[in-house]
Amino acid sequence: MHTVVVGTSGVTASDVLAVARDGARVELSEEAALALAAARRIVDTLAAKPDPVYGVSTGFGALATRHISPQLRAQLQRNIVRSHAAGMGPRVEREVVRALMFLRLKTLCSGHTGVRPEVAQTMADVLNAGITPVVHEYGSLGCSGDLAPLSHCALTLMGEGDAEGPDGVVRPAGELLAEHGIDPVELREKEGLALLNGTDGMLGMLVMALADLDTLYKSADVTAALSLEALLGTDRVLAPELHAIRPHPGQGASAANMLAVLEGSELTGHHQDDAPRVQDAYSVRCAPQVAGAGRDTIAHARTVAERELASAVDNPVVLPDGRVESNGNFHGAPVGYVLDFLAIAAADLASITERRTDRLLDKNRSHGLPPFLADDPGVDSGLMIAQYTQAALVSEMKRLAVPASADSIPSSAMQEDHVSMGWSAARKLRTAVDNLTRVIAVELYAATRAVELREGLTPAPASRAVIEAVRKAGVQGPGPDRFLAPDLAVADAFVREGRLVAAAETVTGPLR
């Protein structure tokens, strides 16, 4: 099994994906162990002094003015975890919780949090045992970090609350720890606070969304090319020299992908009907511009994610010169913004994708294709309602594109009076990414059928490879009406698992 070693300088997106989705083992580097011990010595020194230090010998948030006596500090740290583990609603996905814990471990290992090495090691042990704390949908405002979600994870380290075992069964966390030989942690000064004060949940979901969107944008280029073929459109608008004079990188990449898929097609540029076109409709002609703008948004979001992956997010932080300083680095605005940007881009890509599908199904605009791509129109309804489903998905995505980060709701007796709502932005982006996958799957279903209905003209080799692969996967071609939901589910999986891109790339080589 792949092992990810966590040091003091952060982790990579591939590390997050390996741990969250592939169950990779986690190890702490010797460098991290030394940094943890050095920072802990600083905290212990400050804890022994009479002067109050936030997070070490004081209360938290609006209660930070109270100095806590030494005999109550362990109770204080336990209490903050118990009281902050106040999430509600359905459980979030296992991969999200694993990403959340791994990214918190990344910050612990930076040497800026002041927790003991055994606390970090216990978190690694829990991940390696396949134990997943029960974390709920609601409870984070994305400021002072993802407090409730991280608190539920910290509760598991203490042997309290519920967690899911490697067998998928939810049980008391204490039982699961005991079965795997893991001793619950007994928290000391600052450790409870350090376990729950970070942007790790929203960042983990951003990293996973970026990986998914990378595949989906390539998928959308392929389905757009198939639709262009099916509509007998022109590929001249994809010429590199046209995109070079508006040099947005994403636009150029998208056009290049479409051109690669269409190479060798006999369908493009024919305009064989009674109403010859000077230009194709925007949904066809401007596909690279829309998908390209989304790609550039992804590039910006990836830059933000990389900076966060190299960051130590905690409050207060331990500095190398021995100071423990309060700060505002836990604020989720940088991550929340790009999560919202991506939801907007995904909604627009879904919107233009649906418009191409609708054009394929409309006999007045499809240039010779049968109404709704039906076998016997009137007797058969064809893909009429598949497009309804696609339209419903797009409509929901437009609602999900309303920014969460534009909102703020004060909390903690106005001490935390401006929050990022980054967790909410991340949660709705996950739904948007799921819906975008389904929207692209419907275009794939319609476009492959439409290309096959263009008898007498040979599609591009890459298109033929896609059609052959999707038919082999179980999506049936043209014919009389049948139960469509199973076909659409197979098409969804074909896109979601990256098989659409892989099929095209057997001919085109790697897409950009």
Tell me how crowded residue 457 is: count the other CB atoms within 10 A of its CB.
Answer: 14
Q: What is the DSSP string of 308-323?
A: HHT----SSEE-TTS-
Q: Report DSSP state, residue 357.
A: H
Two tokens, residue 341: 């940007």
Tell me how crowded residue 479 is: count the other CB atoms within 10 A of its CB.
Answer: 10
Q: Is 54 a catalytic residue?
A: yes
Alpha helices in 62-161 (DSSP H): 73-84, 94-108, 117-128, 147-157
Query: What are the pLDDT tens digits along the chain (512 aa)?
Result: 799 999 999 999 999 999 999 999 999 999 999 999 999 999 999 888 888 888 787 776 667 778 888 888 889 899 999 999 999 999 999 999 999 999 999 999 999 999 999 999 999 999 999 999 999 999 999 988 899 999 999 999 999 999 999 999 999 999 999 999 999 999 999 999 999 989 999 999 999 999 999 999 999 999 999 999 999 999 999 999 999 999 999 999 999 999 999 999 999 986 545 555 678 999 999 999 999 999 999 999 999 999 999 999 998 999 989 898 989 999 999 999 999 999 999 999 999 999 999 999 999 999 999 999 999 999 999 999 999 999 999 999 999 999 999 999 988 888 888 899 999 999 999 999 999 999 999 999 999 999 999 999 999 999 999 999 999 999 999 999 999 999 999 999 999 999 999 999 999 999 99
Q: d(Cα 56, Cα 324) in Å, to the nearest integer? A: 9
Whether the CB-CB separation of 265 and 229 falls below 8 Å is answered with: yes
3-class secondary structure, 483: coil
Tell me the β-bridge partners of 377: 380
3-class secondary structure, 10: coil
pLDDT at 377: 97
Two tokens, residue 201: 């949940």
pLDDT at 274: 54
Q: d(Cα 220, Cα 208) in Å, to the nearest integer? A: 18
Q: Which of 54, 217, 282, 337 is catalytic?
A: 54
Two tokens, residue 126: 């829990």
Non-local (6+) Cβ contacts of 274 within 8 A are none
Tell me the β-bridge partners of 67: 58
CB neighbour class for 239 (10 Å; exposed up to 12, middle 13-18, buried from 19): exposed
CB neighbour class for 180 (10 Å; exposed up to 12, middle 13-18, buried from 19): middle
